[in-house]
Amino acid sequence: MRLVDARGLVRIHGRGTAAEHRALDCVDFSMEPGEWVAIVGPSGSGKSTLLHLVALTDRPDAGALTVAGQPTYGLSDAALTRLRRDRLGHLHQAFHLLPTLDVLGNVRLPLDLQGVPDREAERRARAMLEEVGLERETHRHPAALSGGQQQRVALARALVHAPALVVADEPTGNLDRETGRRVLTLIRRAIAFAGSGILMVTHDPEVAAAADRCLTLVDGRFET
């Protein structure tokens, strides 16, 4: 099984308007299970657009996309949502933690959404928090945490359900260099712990160099 297989992906933003833009122009790429792939490229080259397609939060205008072994063409919104919930983890530059939930509540959320029994969800969330070194912060709220701590909570949440694939858009982009390095080390450890692959957009050459493979997008195409 291929973790991701994309053939001839096209995404045109603002179709039929003056602002029409071909953000992805016939992109092919694939990932193997457990692989870490970095995507780099200039601002506006289509990196986030590609990530949204793979994250199943947007649909291509043309092309074929298989995610976690599941061909996505023709799937209903409900089926895409299930696939996203069960097989994917998400990591964002801006963390996107829920402010009303404490650390434990944020991390166990993907399990709660899947209907995992209460004690099992708590046990797995605590194990993941231990993996990112936050086992003592379980009852604090996101607003009371540093940026690096918030991203570690987000990382634990992205991996708690052992997703096949984590999609990450500049996960170290809001962190200072030293904190970014520490989070990167944790990402490496945590994806190995969960057995997940990761597709990561980054502007940081150090992050890109840590990946198994690095692809460069320019004007909606991969450079060869």
Ligand X SMILES: Nc1ncnc2c1ncn2[C@@H]1O[C@H](COP(=O)(O)OP(=O)(O)OP(=O)(O)O)[C@@H](O)[C@H]1O
Applying CB under 6 A, the span of 19-27, 84-92, 97-105, 134-142 interacting with ligand X comes to 19-27
**Contact range with ligand X by CB under 6 A, out of 39-47, 76-84, 172-180, 208-216:** 39-47
Q: Are strands 213-218 and 36-40 parallel, antiparallel or unpaired?
A: parallel
Of 13-21, 78-86, 97-105, 140-148: span binding ligand X (CB under 6 A): 13-21
Report what 168 binds from ligand X, Mg ion, none; CB cut-off 5-8 Å by kind. Answer: none
Residue 46: contacted member of ligand X, Mg ion, none (CB under 5 to 8 Å, by partner type):
ligand X
Nearer to ligand X, 194 or 211 (CB): 211
Asked if residue 49 binds Mg ion (CB under 5 A), the reply is no
Indicate the pairing of strand 21-31 with strand 4-13.
antiparallel
Q: Which of 6, 9, 36, 45 binds ligand X (CB under 6 A)?
A: 45
The residue within the footprint of ligand X, chosen from 1, 15, 32, 44 (CB under 6 A), is 44
* Rounded Cα gap, residues 58 and 37, in angstroms: 20
CA distance from start to end of the chain = 25
Site pattern 84..123 for ligand X (x: CB under 6 A):
----------------------------------------
Site string for ligand X, 48-67 (x = CB under 6 A): xx------------------
Rounded Cα distance between 169 and 155, Å, is 12
DSSP structure string for 97-146:
--TTS-HHHHHHHHHHHTT--HHHHHHHHHHHHHHTT-TT-TTS-GGGS-
Could you say whether residue 48 binds Mg ion (CB under 5 A)?
A: yes
Q: Are 107 and 159 in contact (CB under 8 A)?
A: no
Both tokens of residue 189? 């450890």
Contact between residue 23 and residue 15 where contact means Cβ atoms under 8 Å apart = no
43 binds ligand X, rule: CB under 6 A: yes
Strand pairing of 213-218 and 221-222?
Answer: antiparallel
Contacting residues toward ligand X, per CB under 6 A: 13-14, 19, 21, 23, 41, 43-49
Q: Give the interface with Mg ion as residue ranges (CB under 5 A).
A: 47-48
